[in-house]
Amino acid sequence: MTTMKAELRRAYGVCARSLIEGHIDVEDAEEAGFRTDAPVFTVGQVAALADMHPQTLRQYDRLGLIVPRRTVGGARRYSLRDVQRLAQAQHLSQDESINLAGITRILALMEENRQLRRQVKRLSRPGGMSVFAAGSDGQMVEFQTRDKSGWRSGLYETLQITASPAAGRDVD
């Protein structure tokens, strides 16, 4: 079991390095079976991968640029998606000379674009029916049937909240 865990950690590390170097993106990682939102990397690991000081990552967290999840004890844990976001922020800052406010806005727009592309891809898949409704908080919720024989058969299976004020951020 320990060997399997070590191999899995090593695989995530290789995937993160590939994200930093721009060889793949998170969609490629997802297609390969990685859980891109799983909080697996410490501040030190990500700092070493990105060749930056851990304090820079903490500053990015304080500014809301790259916001990792927290453990019960309060330690930061970064996901592959956070690593890609960091690589994009580094590129925009170092290669494009964009300030942190601009980087924050660009990354937010990139995430919104990614969410919309995923939604279009999901909605254009053949088969099944979807019913849309507004939740009590005003957010759009999609329900999809499991069985094509009757539209009510799987009506109450929630698939995804498709509109959210905090799109792209996971809540612990």
DSSP, collapsed to helix, strand or coil, labels residue 40 as coil
pLDDT tens-place string over residues 26-44 = 889 998 999 999 999 999 9
CA angle, 82 then 9 then 66, to 5°: 10
Contact 115, 81 (CB under 8 A): no
Q: Where are the alpha helices (DSSP H) in the chain?
A: 2-21, 26-31, 43-50, 54-63, 80-90, 100-123
Answer yes or no: is pLDDT of 86 > 90: yes
Distance between CA atoms of 22 and 36, rounded to whole angstroms?
Answer: 15
What's the rounded mean pLDDT across residues 62-84?
A: 92
pLDDT at 128: 55
pLDDT at 63: 87
Answer yes or no: is pLDDT of 4 > 80: yes
The correct answer on CATH 1.10.1660.10 for the domain covering 2-125 is yes
Higher pLDDT, 76 or 123: 76
- Give the least confident one: 3-7, 40-44, 99-103: 3-7
Q: Average pLDDT of the chain?
A: 81
Distance between CA atoms of 88 and 110, rounded to whole angstroms?
Answer: 10
What's the rounded mean pLDDT across residues 82-93?
A: 92
Answer yes or no: is pLDDT of 112 > 50: yes
DSSP state at residue 125: S
Answer yes or no: is pLDDT of 7 > 50: yes
pLDDT tens-place string over residues 146-167 = 555 554 544 444 444 445 444 4
